Each structure stands twice: as C-alpha cells, then as structure tokens.
Amino acid sequence: MQEQLKPLKEQYESIPIPKELDFIVKQAIKQRKKKTAYLKWVIGIAAAIVVCTTTGVNSSPALAKALSEVPVVGSIVKVLTFKEVVVDEGNAKATFQVPAVTNMTNQSLETALNNKYVEENKKLYDQFTAEVEKLKQNGGGHLGVNSGYTVKTDNEQILAIGRYVVNTAGSSSTTFKYDTIDKKNEVLITLPSLFKDDRYMSLISDNIKEQMKAQMKADDKKVYWVEGAAAQVIDGFKTIAPDQNFYINADGKLVLSFNKYEVAPGYMGVIEFIIPTEAIADDLVSGIYIK
C-alpha cells in the first residue's frame, strides 16, 4: 500500500514552499514575543548578501572637517544634516541621518551635542550591522532602521531638536529624544534646570494624569495606562522621570513626550502632552523660556 502511495507522497513533498513562509513564521513568533520584549531588536531575514555600501558613521575628526565646509549664513545657531548613511541589503534596510548644530560661539556645547548625535547613530549603526549578521546566521528575515531628526522649535530664543529612531521588524517601534537649546545664551536646557525644586515632577505628572483621563473620557478610542483609569492597569503611569523627554514649543509651552508603548498601547504611537503653564508656574525659575 505504501508503494502505491509513493507518487502521492512525492507530490505532497513537492508542494512548493513560498518564500514568504519564513517571514510569516518569524513575524508570527515575534508578534507574540513583542508583549514582553517589544523594544528588543528582534527579527528575521532572508539570507541577504551583505554588501556594505557605507564606511560606517564618521567619528569626530571628520565631523569637524565637514562642519568647517559649511558656508556660514549669518551667525545664527542652526541645525543641519551632517551626514546621511543609507544601507540597503535587500531585506535589511537602514537610513541614518545625523544632525549637527552649527554656528555656536559656545564651542564646547556645540561639540558635545554633535558628538552625542554622532555617537547615537554610530551605536545604532553598530547594532544594526550586528543584527544583520545574526540574522544571516539564523537564515534570514526583514529588518529596517530609520533614524533622523526634526526641528520642533526654532525661534529667537529656543532651538529644539528631536531625534527619532524607527525600528521595523514586523511592526515598528519609534523612540524620540529631544535637546532644547537656548540660542541666545547658548546653553542646553534640562528639565530640572527650569524649576526651583523637585515639585515639578509631581506638578507635571498630576497634570498629565488629568489630561490622560480627560482624553480617554472624551474619546473612547484613546487608551493610556494610568492608575485609576482602568481596573486592569498593573503598571500604569505614575510619575515622569526627573529627566523625562521634553522640549519647549514655539508658543513657549513645555511639552512632555513619551515613546511608543511607554504610557499607552502601541497604536497610540509617540505621545506628547502640552503642559499648561498655569499648572507649573509656581515652580518655574523664570518666565524666559516657558510662557
């Protein structure tokens, strides 16, 4: 009987395996894991031949050179794209866009910021290449990394630069980091430096919680993980970090930012809360930055 079934077995075994199978399996595995480890660089990919089209992200000597070539347009502190690196290895794609601050008289701050931006991207680049290497050994998958920046605020007083990293592996995660610079005095503004004492943490946190609850009440599609809002919240938002991501917007309002998954489900994306100045006025050092 088995003899008779042989041709059928051969036929069964010759059912072609679509090339998407690998990806779909990896993605399905990853989606389950995401609940616990969404920020990890998980993955998958088709054995892409790695042909690096880049020499990596430059380090500081080259930075200095590149900056010296930038034509000086007035002596206004500004941000420009210092370097853009594109890696394309079939299923693994990455773009790194490195910003650079120029025209500062305060050279040490300028260098510190620019070095930081280069370092951040160098780290991403190294992580990416390591990940691709790992994927090749595991037989393949898809991976995408995209880093860049946006200028959130650029007025006479404030320059706020937001750097983002988008990781794509099945689904995507986005993280933002901000630097807010006082252009007149050329200093980097930190969150604690804006306030007289630690009270700002509870003032801001309470305001954000109120905003979360108000938004959820007004729109039932919005969900935040905040204590007191829903019974099933286990590890909800309690307080901002002392150095929580923030920037000052063009209206002189303090904006607090949370990365995807930080205080809400993934579909809510990156979340920003504009803090009404009245809520924090008591604790502000001055009204220069925040109005």
Partner 1 sequence: MNNKMEKLLIECITEHKENVYRLAYSYVKNADDALDVVQEAIHKAFSSAGSLKAESSMKSWFYKIVVNTSLDFLRKHKRIQIVDDQTLEVHGPVSEDQYANLDLKKAMDELPTAYRSVIVLRYFEDMKIEEMAEVLNENVNTIKTRLYTALNKLRITMSDDALREVK
Q: Which residues bind partner 1 (CB under 8 A)?
A: 1-2, 4-5, 7-9, 11-13, 15-18, 20-22, 24-25, 27-29, 31-33
**3-state SS class at 284:** strand
Q: Residues near 231 by Cβ (< 8 Å), separated by ≥ 6? A: none
Nearest residue to 285 via CA among 202, 205, 189: 189
Residue with smaller CB distance to partner 1, 20 or 69: 20
Q: How far is the CB of 139 from partner 1 (least distance, A)?
A: 9
The alpha-helical segments, DSSP class H, found in the chain are 2-13, 20-37, 60-69, 107-138, 199-218, 277-280
* Distance separating alpha carbons of residues 124 and 82, to the nearest angstrom: 16
Residue with smaller CB distance to partner 1, 25 or 285: 25
Residue with smaller CB distance to partner 1, 138 or 249: 138
* Distance separating alpha carbons of residues 97 and 94, to the nearest angstrom: 10
Residue with smaller CB distance to partner 1, 25 or 230: 25
Q: Residue 117 is encoded by which pair of tokens?
A: 């931006």
**3-state SS class at 125:** helix
Q: How far is the CB of 136 from partner 1 (least distance, A)?
A: 16
Residue with smaller CB distance to partner 1, 33 or 65: 33
Q: How far is the CB of 9 from partner 1 (least distance, A)?
A: 5
Q: How far is the CB of 44 from partner 1 (least distance, A)?
A: 10
